[in-house]
Amino acid sequence: MDALIEIKNLRKSFGKNHVLKGVSLRLRKGHNIVILGKSGIGKSVLTKCIMGLIEPDEGEIIIFGNKMGSIDDTELDKLRQKIGYLFQGGALYDSMTVRENLKFPLRRSRRVIGKSQLNDMIHEALENVGLLEAIDKYPGELSGGMRKRAGLARTLIVKPDVIFYDEPTTGLDPVTSGEIIDLMIDIQNKYQTSSIVITHDMKCAKLTGDEIKLLKDGVFYAEGSWDELKQSADKEVQMYFK
């Protein structure tokens, strides 16, 4: 199956700090890749390169068959509309209600949407994450888990083909974390989305990752399924499974 996102030998340095030293991956439809690694190791740099926010020094990034760096800004914006991003803190606009936060990406997409259809889309997205009752609340009135759900609903409303999850369970209690993980799995099954998940949560990695990649020293030091990595005799890998 053709890859929705393909990265080949990606390299990125900031001065003498060589962050990425030859990273490659292939994300297929309906497939989830989990990226593990210590803080500051380059996980965010990798995702920013994929999104076109940072230009890599070397390597190729191919998204939906389009080679990044060879398309103009208009084409790049169209590609980004197929990609959803759940930020670590939800990144909701504090001055907007949940309803207004969900309207925002639709306005940015420049699609012509009638009022009735718009309301239906907002209700569907919130129902998917179990948050319809909070439609007219402001982010400051929501718990941490509810803000994550609202952020996920805003991501889902544009029907993305690929979702990036940035530490989706960080700062949540175990029960709420489990609910977010269940939502991620439900969304993948319902919409056949593909995902790249950055997380330190090993439960999240185990339950959501079809493939797990361990980023260390600028490369994917180890990769495989949960069971394959858990059985590894390598001490660098085993430290994540203690």
Is the pLDDT score of 232 beyond 60? yes
Q: Rounded mean pLDDT of 18-47?
A: 92
Identify the pLDDT of residue 117.
Answer: 86
pTM (two decimals): 0.87
Domain annotation for the chain: domains and CATH numbers: 1-82+161-242 (3.40.50.300), 90-159 (no CATH)
- As a whole number of angstroms, the distance between CA 108 and CA 23 comes to 32
Averaged pLDDT, 156-167: 90
| In the predicted structure, residue 111 carries a pLDDT above the cut 80 | no
Distance CA 228, CA 242 (A): 15
Given this model, what pLDDT does residue 218 score? 93
- pLDDT for 105 equals 82
Any idea how long the chain is? 242
CA-CA distance, 92 to 197, in Å (whole number)? Answer: 20
- Please name the amino acid found at residue 137: K
β-strand 66-67 against 58-63: which pairing, if any? antiparallel
> At residue 108, does pLDDT exceed 70?
no
Nearest-10 crossing angle of helices 144-156, 98-108: 30
